[in-house]
Chain A
Amino acid sequence: MKNKIVPFLVFFFFIFIFFVFYKSLNQTNIYTPNVNLNKNIPEFEAKIFKSNESFSSKDFKLNEYYLINIWASWCAPCRLEHKYLLELNDINSLKMIGINYKDLKLNAENFLNDLGNPYDLILSDDNGKLSINWGAYGVPETFIVFNNKIVKKYTGPLNEINVQEIRKILSQ
Chain B
Amino acid sequence: MLPSVIGKYSLIFGFLISFPIFYYSFIDYKKSGNLDTKIISFSFLQLLFILISFICLIISFVISDFSNETVFNNSHTTKPLFYKIAGTWGNHEGSLLLWLLVLTLFVFIFLLTSKRQTKNYRILTTIFQQIIIFGFFVFVIKTSNPFSHIFPDPNEGLGLNPILQDPALAIHPPILYLGYVGASIIFSSALSATVLNYISSSWASHIKTWTYISWIFLTLGILLGSIWAYYELGWGGFWFWDPVENVSLMPWLALTTLIHCLIVLEKRTLLKSWVIILSITTFTLSMSGTFLVRSGILNSVHTFANDPERGIFILLFLFSLIILSLVIFFFFNKNQDRNSSNFFWLSKDTSLLINNWFMMYFLSVVLIGTLYPIFLDVISSEKISVGPPFYHKLIAPFLLFFLVAMAIGPKLSWIKSKFVEKFSLISFFGISLLLSSYLVFKLNIDFLINTLLLSTAFFLFLITFKDFFINKTKNISQKISHFGFALFILSVLLNNFLSSEIVTNLKVGESYDDGKVKIYLEKVEKFKKQNYESVIGYFDITDQKNKTEKFKPELRIYNQPVIITSEADIKTNLFYDKFLVINVVQNQNYFNLRYQFKPLMSWIWISVLIISMGGLTNLLYSRNEK
Q: Measured between C-beta atoms, what is the minimum distance from A46 to chain B in Å?
A: 19
Interface set, chain B 360-413, CB cutoff 8 A to A? 374-375, 377-379
> Across the two chains, which residue of chain A brings its CB closest to B381?
A27
- Report whether over half of chain A's contact residues are helix, strand or loop; otherwise say mixed: helix
* Known interface pairs A14-B323, A22-B315, A76-B69; A7-B297 also in contact (CB < 8 Å): no
B residues near A138, Cβ cutoff 8 Å: 158, 561-562
A residues near B150, Cβ cutoff 8 Å: 76
A27 touches B377 (CB 8 A): yes
B378 touches A24 (CB 8 A): yes
Q: Measured between C-beta atoms, what is the minimum distance from A67 to chain B in Å?
A: 23
Type the 1/0 row for A145-157, where 1 means its CB is closer than 8 Å to any CB of B. Answer: 0000000000000
CA distance A138 to B562 in the complex (A): 8
* Known interface pairs A74-B155, A132-B562; A23-B378 also in contact (CB < 8 Å): yes
Q: Measured between C-beta atoms, what is the minimum distance from B318 to chain A in Å?
A: 9
* Known interface pairs A20-B378, A76-B69; A25-B561 also in contact (CB < 8 Å): no
A21, CB-defined interface residue at 8 Å: yes
A18 touches B72 (CB 8 A): no
B residues near A30, Cβ cutoff 8 Å: 296, 299, 306
A residues near B330, Cβ cutoff 8 Å: 7, 10
B319 touches A25 (CB 8 A): no
A residues near B379, Cβ cutoff 8 Å: 20
B156, CB-defined interface residue at 8 Å: yes
Which residue of the partner chain, among A11, A29, A76, contacts B299 with CB atoms under 8 Å?
A29
A residues near B430, Cβ cutoff 8 Å: none
B residues near A31, Cβ cutoff 8 Å: 299
CA distance A17 to B379 in the complex (A): 12
* Known interface pairs A11-B326, A74-B154, A138-B561; A24-B308 also in contact (CB < 8 Å): no
* Known interface pairs A20-B374, A24-B378; A137-B315 also in contact (CB < 8 Å): no
A26, CB-defined interface residue at 8 Å: yes
A residues near B158, Cβ cutoff 8 Å: 138
Q: Measured between C-beta atoms, what is the minimum distance from A66 to chain B in Å?
A: 24
> Across the two chains, which residue of chain A brings its CB closest to B379?
A20
Q: Give chain A's interface residue range (CB within 8 Å of chain B).
A: 20 to 34
B residues near A28, Cβ cutoff 8 Å: 306
B308 touches A20 (CB 8 A): no
B63, CB-defined interface residue at 8 Å: no
A137 touches B308 (CB 8 A): no
CA distance A132 to B564 in the complex (A): 13
CA distance A23 to B380 in the complex (A): 12
B295, CB-defined interface residue at 8 Å: yes
Interface set, chain A 23-61, CB cutoff 8 A to B? 23-31
CA distance A18 to B375 in the complex (A): 11
A18 touches B374 (CB 8 A): no
> Across the two chains, which residue of chain B brings its CB closest to A72?
B154
Which residue of the partner chain, among A11, A21, A22, A137, contacts B323 with CB atoms under 8 Å?
A11
CA distance A75 to B330 in the complex (A): 53
CA distance A76 to B69 in the complex (A): 9
CA distance A52 to B83 in the complex (A): 41
B311, CB-defined interface residue at 8 Å: yes
CA distance A30 to B307 in the complex (A): 12
A residues near B72, Cβ cutoff 8 Å: 76
Q: Measured between C-beta atoms, what is the minimum distance from B561 to chain A in Å?
A: 6
A residues near B312, Cβ cutoff 8 Å: 22, 25
Which residue of the partner chain, among B299, B308, B326, B562, contacts A26 with CB atoms under 8 Å?
B308
Which residue of the partner chain, among B291, B375, B561, contacts A20 with CB atoms under 8 Å?
B375
Type the 1/0 row for A55-90, where 1 means its CB is closer than 8 Å to any CB of B. Answer: 000000000000000000011100000000000000
Q: Measured between C-beta atoms, what is the minimum distance from A73 to chain B in Å?
A: 9
B residues near A132, Cβ cutoff 8 Å: 562
CA distance A31 to B36 in the complex (A): 55
A74 touches B156 (CB 8 A): yes
* Known interface pairs A7-B330, A30-B306, A74-B154; A25-B295 also in contact (CB < 8 Å): yes
CA distance A74 to B315 in the complex (A): 34
> Across the two chains, which residue of chain A brings its CB closest to B296?
A29
Q: Measured between C-beta atoms, what is the minimum distance from A125 to chain B in Å?
A: 14
B6, CB-defined interface residue at 8 Å: no
A18 touches B156 (CB 8 A): no
Q: Measured between C-beta atoms, what is the minimum distance from B65 to chain A in Å?
A: 15
CA distance A23 to B562 in the complex (A): 33
Given contacts A14-B322, A76-B72, A138-B561, 13 further A-B contacts (CB under 8 A): A7-B326, A10-B326, A10-B330, A20-B378, A22-B315, A23-B378, A24-B297, A24-B377, A24-B378, A25-B295, A28-B306, A30-B299, A31-B299
What are 22 A-B contacts defined by CB distance under 8 Å? A10-B326, A10-B330, A11-B326, A14-B322, A14-B326, A20-B375, A20-B378, A20-B379, A21-B297, A21-B315, A24-B297, A25-B311, A25-B315, A28-B306, A29-B296, A30-B296, A30-B299, A74-B154, A76-B69, A76-B72, A138-B561, A138-B562
The 6 closest A-B pairs by CB, nearest first: A7-B330, A25-B311, A74-B154, A23-B378, A18-B319, A24-B378
